Amino acid sequence: MAEDHAGWISRSRVFLIPIAAPSITGLFGFMIGTVMLGAWQAGWYGSAVTPLIIWPSAMFASGIMQTVAAVASLRARDGIAIAIHAA
């Protein structure tokens, strides 16, 4: 093994992992919760027990997607997206 520039280059490796923008996932999760609650508030569906079901469902669906987006942002090294989706 040579200790010159050519030897150093021959031992160097770079692994790139292609990753899409994680904020797309986070915004989609936010949209799921917003549409669920907005449709209920607009009176498009529901009954007297709907608030007991829809609030936990919307929070769970949005929370899962936001958490996935925060973890993917961490992997993509996007500090602003981590702060937005983890808060």
Mean pLDDT of the chain: 87
Of the pLDDT bands very low, low, confident and very high (cuts 50, 70, 90), residue 28 is: very high
Q: Is the pLDDT of residue 1 over 70?
A: no
Q: Is the pLDDT of residue 11 over 80?
A: no
Contacts of 23 (CB under 8 A, 6+ apart): 69, 73, 78, 81, 84, 85
Domain residue ranges in the chain = 21-86
Global pTM? 0.69
Q: Is the pLDDT of residue 48 over 80?
A: yes
